[in-house]
Amino acid sequence: MKRILVTGGAGFIGSHLCTRLINEGHSVICLDNFFTGNRSNVWHLMPNPHFELVRHDVINPYIAEVDEIYNLACPASPIHYQHDAVKTVKTSVMGAINMLTLARQVGAKVLQASTSEVYGDPIVHPQTEVYWGNVNTIGIRSCYDEGKRCAETLFMDYYRQKRLIIKIIRIFNTYGPNMSMNDGRVISNFIVQALKNEDITLYGDGSQTRSFQYVDDLIEGMVRMMNTDDKFTGPVNIGNPNEFTIKQLAERIIELTGSKSRFIYKPLPSDDPRQRQPDISLAKEKLHWQPRVQLEEGLLSTIDYFKKII
């Protein structure tokens, strides 16, 4: 049994990770300030004596004797991370510093949940880990993009300077149960609109592309990354390389829900990436990982989840 700290553990992805770690027999401390996380996501874990839920903001230091740290804390959807841009930067940067400091104090291994947003609006396609990105440093998305980029820098500097055991993954668009209805992510938006037979909002002409991975595949990749050789730091892309236009996604969701929704079009938001697709060659080589759940299967599971909560 390992003692594992998960920051942002009551969020969409964090709750799935906590469940996986508890099911594997580990002791888990779930840290969350509940800005976007929700106690209901981990309520099923509360009776377990090896699970502990702590309300805490990673902007402030935290002390616990742990063997591993998964640093997931940060609002990840535009509607939330743009709500308080300064707080978003602080969460990424100060949160990284505080978790790296804790890892050094207790000798823990620490994983940073970074993002495909470090690539910005990419001019290299698909995106490989050696690509440095095309990010607007002063745009409305910069608080998240640059916050995560700075966190990666901090992790690598602690590795080089402090000899800390660190891991970095870059998460591409992820979906599945425990998503919030109002998180602003495209899949949750479309499913909720379709189930309510409301107009589905497309930005631009809907031709921008994304690659969507089911949350179970992401969690598998995260756990495998944490268990790699101590000398392997990443970063590693974790995503599904199957690429779809946003309009294709909306059409598929309408079909699967039997919705009567129609499309309405709005201007494309500032700095919205035109395309996004991971090159997962490194994940295949180092983690022996690749996604197993394809879009239709994952969408059906996610639609069933939203049917229960709407």
Highest mean pLDDT: which of 41-50, 180-189, 262-271?
41-50
| pLDDT digit string, tens, across residues 133-179 | 999 999 999 999 999 999 999 999 999 999 999 999 999 999 999 99
For 116-134, the pLDDT digits (tens) are: 999 999 999 999 999 999 9
Tell me, yes or no, whether 47 lies in a domain.
yes
188 domain-assigned: no
Q: What are the pLDDT digits (tens) for 212-235?
A: 999 999 999 999 999 999 999 999
In a domain, residue 203? The reply is no
Q: Is residue 263 part of a domain?
A: no
pLDDT of residue 80: 83
Residue 76: the pLDDT is: 86
Catalytic machinery residues: 144
Name the token pair of 219. Answer: 């969690």
Q: What is the spatial distance between Cα 11 and Cα 75, in angstroms, rounded to a whole number?
A: 9
Does 164 map to a domain? yes
Domain CATH number, residue 118: 3.40.50.720
Residue 193 lies in a domain: no
Tens of pLDDT, residue by residue over 196-214, are 999 999 988 999 999 999 9
Please give the model's pTM, rounded to 2 decimal places: 0.96
Residue 271: pLDDT band with limits 50, 70, 90 = confident
Helix axes 215-226, 12-23, angle to 10 degrees: 60
How many beta carbons lie within 10 A of that of residue 63, not counting itself? Answer: 10
Q: How many domains does the chain have?
A: 1
Dihedral angle of Cα 12, 15, 17, 18, to the nearest 10 degrees? 170
pLDDT at 269: 79
At residue 159, the 3 state secondary structure works out as: helix
CB atoms within 10 A of CB 140: 15
Q: Whole domain around residue 29: which residue ranges? A: 3-175+212-241+277-292
State the greatest distance between any 2 C-alpha atoms of the chain, in Å, as a whole number: 58
Report the distance separating Cα 218 and Cα 291, nearest Å.
8
Q: Is residue 301 part of a domain?
A: no
Q: Tell me the H-state helices in 201-294.
A: 215-226, 246-257, 281-287
User: Is 272 contained in some domain?
Assistant: no
